[in-house]
Amino acid sequence: MSSHREAPEIAKDPVADSSDLYAFVSPDKPDSVTLIANYVSLQLPSGGPNFFEFGDDVRYELHIDNDGDGRPDVTYRFEFTTEITNPNSFLYNTGPIDSLDSRNWNRRQFYSLTRVADGREHRLAHKLPCPPCNVGPLSTPKYAELVRQATYSLSTGERVFAGQRADGFFVDLGAVFDLGTLRPFQQLHVAGKKIFKAEGEPVNATDRMNVHSIAVQVPLSRVRRRANRYGAADRASVIGVWTSASRRQVRVLGDRVAADTSTGPFTQVSRLGNPLFNEVIVPMAKKDLWNSLPPSEDKRFARFVEQPELAALLPALYPDVFPNLDKLTKAKKPRADLVAILLTGVPAGLIDGFTNATGDVQADMLRLNTAIPPSRRPDRFGVLGGDLAGFPNGRRVGDDVVSIALRAIAGVTVPLVDKTFRPDAAAAAVTPGLSAADVTAPFLGNFPYLGTPYDGFNNPPAAS
């Protein structure tokens, strides 16, 4: 995942570990913005009798900052409860689940949705049912219908969904973490030299795996601030988005499971803004600290953005391929381009017709300029590909964030702030070699956009 198992402590707590975050103007409803956060990742479809679910003791939240201070102005809070229909059965279901109130479904999960804004909490919905996990063709024969039943339109204008989806992230994880090895289908040569060491086709390590998603589609009028503290019209349309998960400070174990209790205030244990930020920017010794802090404190980590470790590793791993990047890194010149992309937003004037700047506060958030309409023909490389509606302007489900991030770190965005810098020829071609086409479950054209989760009967394929 773009931020799965990215810190030592949260790696032990997958139920509260955020793996991917998306924020984009809804392509099928451009007067709204869609926010999706994935948790409980790396789910093998086959399982049981205990299938995956949200944590009843975890508070999941989607945060929106619309005044640039790195603190939430609007928060959508999801809290879950689980009910067992037949306490004398070990089975998840005793027959086909054809509706959300099916008597055959033994372990059902519900959630409440609360909107927090201007210091006030407003309960938007209570005890909304989640769909079941996609067990198999006999247990969940019409899964798309169950998802339709579990997608709710609220009287306040939001649409909401919480439940299992197919993981849409794509990355050749085994290769990338084997000392940055890249193995695209076509080996890349520059000046007669082969750049990539490894042969073979890339493998999408997260394909045929599921996640649990919280998703909300919000009218633009509910996320924008009419007049923010900057007073600039272009900034009034820009929002910052992140997700967090929190647990009670104390858990008391009794002599029976039913006697376990959690008490005390909620403490944040996980957060996620830009993909890969904590994973490849923040050093190991500070990752747990980063997960506990709000984005407004990210100035503490700015030096790791200004001089990212990966920028020094690329020339070392691929000698003579990135000479210009090597000189830039050794000069210890702060990467103002990466600071703009990850911590402050891109100011007006650097890219024609585009800005998603939120001001001077350095904060890791997905910044989305909601005034930019969805693209009719999305480019998977987002802004780097000339598509201003894509990452790092928010993040869509099909954006190739790994390639975009690698190319930015390799130097393709340095000329935005330093016209004298010439990126290495290889910088614009760096890629793990995967795209959304390598995700077996196709994305949907409408809410909740992530594909139908893989069922346990057919995945992995019997032939394998």
pTM of the model: 0.93
208: confidence class by pLDDT, cuts 50, 70, 90: very high
Instruction: Report yes or no: 246 and 74 within 8 Å, Cβ to Cβ.
Output: no
pLDDT at 229: 47
Short-list 352, 345, 386, 390, CA closest to 367: 345
State the DSSP string of 355-397.
Answer: -----S-----EEEETTSPPPSS--TTGGGGT-TTSTTSSB-T
Write the pLDDT tens digit of every residue in 280-323.
999 999 999 999 999 999 999 999 999 999 999 999 988 888 99
64: confidence class by pLDDT, cuts 50, 70, 90: very high
What burial letters (b/e) apply to 23-50, b meaning 16+ CB within 10 Å? bbbbbeeeebbbbbbbbbbbbebeeeee
Instruction: Report yes or no: 209 and 199 within 8 Å, Cβ to Cβ.
Output: no
pLDDT at 257: 54
pLDDT at 269 exceeding the cut of 80: yes
Q: What is the DSSP letter of 345?
A: -
pLDDT at 231: 45
pLDDT at 464: 58
**Which residues are 83's β-sheet partners?**
108
Beta strand 74-84 pairing with 107-117? antiparallel
pLDDT at 225: 76
184: confidence class by pLDDT, cuts 50, 70, 90: low
Cα–Cα distances in angstroms (integers) from residue 7 to residues 13, 272, 284, 337, 396, in the given order: 10, 12, 7, 26, 24
Q: Residue 127 belongs to what H/E stretch?
A: strand 120-129
Which tokens in the block code for residue 30?
């451009």
pLDDT at 436: 94
E strands of 195-260, at which residues? 210-219, 238-252
Instruction: Report yes or no: 361 and 70 within 8 Å, Cβ to Cβ.
Output: yes
Query: Measured between alpha carbons, how far is 106 from 114 in angstroms, rounded to an integer?
Result: 27
Q: What is the DSSP letter of 268?
A: E
Mean of per-residue pLDDT scores for the chain: 91
Q: How many helices (H) and strands (E) are present in the chain, helices listed first? A: 10, 14
Question: What is the rounded average pLDDT of the residues 159-171?
Answer: 96
pLDDT at 197: 52
Query: Measured between alpha carbons, how far is 117 from 124 in angstroms, rounded to an integer?
Result: 12
